[in-house]
Amino acid sequence: MAHRFEIRKNKAGEFVAYFMYNSESIFWTEGYSSKASAKNAIESIKTNGPEAPVEDKTDS
């Protein structure tokens, strides 16, 4: 599967959830003090993301 989430630790020792396509980071979350919080962020993205509106803030 090309798309996946990864949980990694950053330099500060915090847990960060990354959304990956193949081996490229598409986006990532803020750092969390617990792995459970990073997992909660992933579940929130899965639940709320599909229905999120797109706001184009560029000057066309």
Query: What are 30-42's pLDDT values in tens digits?
Result: 999 999 999 999 9
Kindly tell me if the per-residue pLDDT of 60 is higher than 70. no
In angstroms, the CA 48 to CA 24 distance is: 23
Enumerate domains of the chain plus CATH numbers: 3-48 (3.30.160.160)
Q: What angle do CA 51, 47, 19 make, to 5 degrees?
A: 95
Kindly tell me if the per-residue pLDDT of 59 is higher than 90. no
Kindly tell me if the per-residue pLDDT of 12 is higher than 80. yes
The mean predicted confidence, pLDDT, of the chain is 94
Rounded mean pLDDT of 11-37? 96
In angstroms, the CA 32 to CA 9 distance is: 9
Where does the pLDDT of residue 17 fall: very low under 50, low under 70, confident under 90, or very high at 90 and above? very high
